[in-house]
Structure formats: structure tokens, C-alpha cells
A and B are shown apart, each in its own frame.
Chain A
Amino acid sequence: MSRRPYVHEISRTAWFFKRPRYMRYMAREVTCIFIGIYTIILLVGLARLSEGQAQYEGFLAALRQPLSIMFHVLALAFSLYNSFTWFNVAPKALPIQVGEQFMPDSVVSGAHYVVWILLSIFILYWAI
């Protein structure tokens, strides 16, 4: 008799239930869907705006529906989660070396948070 390597098939749909770290990864990935949908809604709003005031008023009215508000709250929560997870792993993609040492991860991700907060304040200031 000779070799007969056994290949274990991986479930393509349920593999991420096997380990908590895979679940966390999927959570990060799935939350981006909401950001995507929100972006589409925003684009639709722009299209309505270009079509005239009445159309845009209709779009705004639709946004005030309870379902829509629920979606936006959810989308905000998920996009926050998504942002946090990405900021926390940012130091892996952008390590900053100073002399022989690398800057601590907290500095790199901290910088992301700082820029984020400043940008948010800036936008809110102009929006209000």
C-alpha cells in the first residue's frame, strides 16, 4: 500500500462558526454592508436633489419613516464598530519606525482616532 493523503473539506458557508476569532472577523466584514447601503441611500438623495425640490422633499420624508430611522441608527452603530476595528489594526499596515524602535501601536491607532474626531468636528461645524 502507499500514500493516500486525506483531504478534509471545509464548509464554505459555516467555517466561521468554528472559532471566535473568525466570528469577530465576520462581524467586522458584515458591518461594512450597512456602510455600503448607507452610501447608496446618500447617492439616491443626491439624485433626487438634482431632479428638483419636490423630489428631494419626498426623499427627506422617506428618511423620517421609523424603519428608516431604525436603519440609520443601526448603520451608525455598525459603522462605528467597523471604524474601531479598522483603526485598531491600522498599526499593522502602517508601522512607523523611529530609529531602532517602532512606535507603539497605541500611537498609530491613536492618531487615527484624533484625525477622525477632528474631521467629525469640522464637518459638524460646517453642517450646523
Chain B
Amino acid sequence: MSDNRLGARQVELEVLRYNPDRDETPSYQRYSVPCKNEWCMLDALNYLKDHIDPTLAYRWSCHMQVCGSCGMMINGEPKLACKAMVRDYEGVIRLEPLAHFPIERDLVSVADDFMDKLKRVKPYLIPAKPKTLEEGEYKQTPAQMQRYRRFSMCINCMLCYAACPEYGLTKSKFIGPAAITLAHRYNLDSRDGGRDERQEEIATNEGVWECTFVGACSDVCPKHVDPASALQQVKVASTVDWYLEHFMSWNKK
């Protein structure tokens, strides 16, 4: 155990506040919070809410990097507040709601658009060969599972949308990294037969062709899902589809 974790210090937080009842535009509010070095940013926020300002609004739940609630911009980078450790920051720390989403209030952003997009890509198993429960499980080898496993790790924290300039610049028309990755996860699943249905949504101009491979989504993903990889794979596969359809029409399904 390194000892620097056990110390404590006063941390200056600059938090974006926005109260729709009162404010025309958001503004920063400065707080000084006594933090232990072992704390994550969420601990600092919880201390702030309990002891300094109970009116601050933010989302959180699991405090273990799996529920995906506490995504926010920390010094301009999309982070989970429960994964960003206080000891890794110096000076004034700036906290803002996730970029590219409308601000509901303070650090709470509006997630409706993301939820709609998830639904749109049909992220559920559309079985290639339906089976009854009596017939038991589908066989799937560890290698077949490994093919999509990484892309099934998305916790829907939306950090990738906050990092993706295309999502911001298209004013959220772009279906975006997480949703397309999830569609790709099911496309890669040996049990699934729904790719054609999903392609109609994702192999489109608002889908994968809006992506210019900035790669920021993968940089910020707290679960190492690598959405950028998923999107490039979808592009490659869609391109192959196109050639098969246009130049090898006898090959059509």
C-alpha cells in the first residue's frame, strides 16, 4: 500500500451549476472540500452534498464502476466519478455534466436521446434458429463467445457520446458509439440471426458512416469496450455487403 493514499487535503472543486427554475445559463460554483487521498471524485461530491450544499444535483448509485450513473466531465474529460481518484488531480478540479447532452440540472444531463438510440438498434437476440427451453441451451464455444464478449461489457455510461465530436457536431443525429457497438455485439453472436434488421439502422448515414474514426470513444471507455473498433468492423462488413450486392448479384441471399 502506498502511503500517499492515506493523507488528506483540501480540494477545490469548480462545479457547473444550472437551476432551470432560476438560471438563464449555467455558471460555475467553487467549493472547498476536505478530501482523503483514497477518495474518488464521487466521495468528494457526496461529502459536498452532505456537509456543504444539499442542493447540488448529480446521479450516482453503485460506487463500483458498474452501474454507469455517475458519468461527468472532470477537467474536460468524460469520466466516471467513482473511477476518477482525487489523488490523481492537482489544483482546481472542474466538474461539468457530460458534454453533448442537454443539461437537466447541475451535473444531471438528459439521457432520453441515448435511451431512444439504444432501442433503435434492436439490441436483443433475434435467434437464428428459435429453440424451446426443453431443448436446452444453445451451444457456444468459448472462442465464439470471445468474439463478441468485449462488446457486451458496455455499462451505458454515455462517456463515449460525451467524447465523440461527431455526436456533438451532428446535434445528436449520429446513432453513436455505444448503441452501434451493442448492435455489433449481437451481430457477432453465434446464436443471433438479426443482422439484416440491425443493418437497416446502423449501416446508414446517421449510423456508422457518420463516424470518422476519431477514436475518442475508445480512449474514454471505462470498461475497455473499444467502441471505435466495433464501428470500424461494422464499416468493413457493410462495405463487403455492398460489393457483394452490386458486383456479385448471384451471391445475394
Whether A10 pairs with B168 at a CB distance below 8 angstroms is: yes
Cα A106 to Cα B55 with chains together (Å): 50
A64 contacts chain B at the CB level, 8 A cutoff: no
Whether B76 pairs with A100 at a CB distance below 8 angstroms is: no
Whether A6 pairs with B229 at a CB distance below 8 angstroms is: no
Known: A12-B169, A97-B143, A100-B143. A92 touches B218 (CB 8 A): yes
Which residues of B218-253 have CB atoms within 8 Å of chain A's CB atoms?
218-219, 226, 228-229, 232-233, 235-236
Contact size range, A: 20 to 34
Closest to A18 in B: B76
Q: Which of B21, B169, B212 contacts A29 (CB 8 A)?
A: B212
CB contacts (< 8 Å) of A16 on chain B: these are 165
Which residues of A79-118 have CB atoms within 8 Å of chain B's CB atoms?
89, 91-95, 97, 99-102
Cα A103 to Cα B216 with chains together (Å): 23
Which residues of B116-148 have CB atoms within 8 Å of chain A's CB atoms?
142-143, 146-147
Cα A22 to Cα B142 with chains together (Å): 37
Whether A22 pairs with B168 at a CB distance below 8 angstroms is: no
Which residues of B44-82 have CB atoms within 8 Å of chain A's CB atoms?
76-77
A126 contacts chain B at the CB level, 8 A cutoff: no
Contact with B along A21-38 (1 / 0, CB 8 A): 110010001000000000
Whether A5 pairs with B103 at a CB distance below 8 angstroms is: yes
B174 contacts chain A at the CB level, 8 A cutoff: no
B89 contacts chain A at the CB level, 8 A cutoff: no
CB distance from B50 to the nearest CB of A (A): 26
Closest to A16 in B: B165
Instruction: State the A residues within 8 Å of B (CB).
Output: 1-8, 10, 12, 15-16, 18-19, 21-22, 25, 29, 89, 91-95, 97, 99-102
B8 contacts chain A at the CB level, 8 A cutoff: no
Whether B20 pairs with A6 at a CB distance below 8 angstroms is: yes
B18 contacts chain A at the CB level, 8 A cutoff: yes
- The count of chain B contact residues (Cβ–Cβ below 8 Å) is 34
Whether B169 pairs with A93 at a CB distance below 8 angstroms is: no
Cα A57 to Cα B115 with chains together (Å): 63
Q: Which of B103, B165, B214 contacts A8 (CB 8 A)?
A: B103
B207 contacts chain A at the CB level, 8 A cutoff: no
Whether A7 pairs with B102 at a CB distance below 8 angstroms is: yes
Whether B226 pairs with A6 at a CB distance below 8 angstroms is: no
Whether B232 pairs with A22 at a CB distance below 8 angstroms is: no
Cα A25 to Cα B169 with chains together (Å): 15
Known: A6-B18, A6-B25, A100-B146. A93 touches B232 (CB 8 A): yes
CB contacts (< 8 Å) of A29 on chain B: these are 212
Cα A7 to Cα B172 with chains together (Å): 11
CB contacts (< 8 Å) of B25 on chain A: these are 6
Whether A1 pairs with B21 at a CB distance below 8 angstroms is: yes
CB contacts (< 8 Å) of B168 on chain A: these are 10, 15
Q: Which of A15, A18, A95 contacts B229 (CB 8 A)?
A: A95
Cα A89 to Cα B99 with chains together (Å): 25
Whether B229 pairs with A92 at a CB distance below 8 angstroms is: yes
CB contacts (< 8 Å) of A4 on chain B: these are 20
CB distance from B171 to the nearest CB of A (A): 9
Q: Which of B104, B142, B212, B216 contacts A100 (CB 8 A)?
A: B142
CB distance from B156 to the nearest CB of A (A): 20
CB distance from A28 to the nearest CB of B (A): 9
Whether B103 pairs with A92 at a CB distance below 8 angstroms is: no
Cα A95 to Cα B151 with chains together (Å): 13
- Interface pairs (18), CB distance under 8 Å: A6-B18, A6-B20, A8-B26, A8-B103, A10-B165, A16-B165, A19-B76, A21-B214, A22-B214, A89-B215, A91-B229, A92-B229, A92-B233, A93-B229, A93-B233, A93-B235, A95-B233, A101-B146
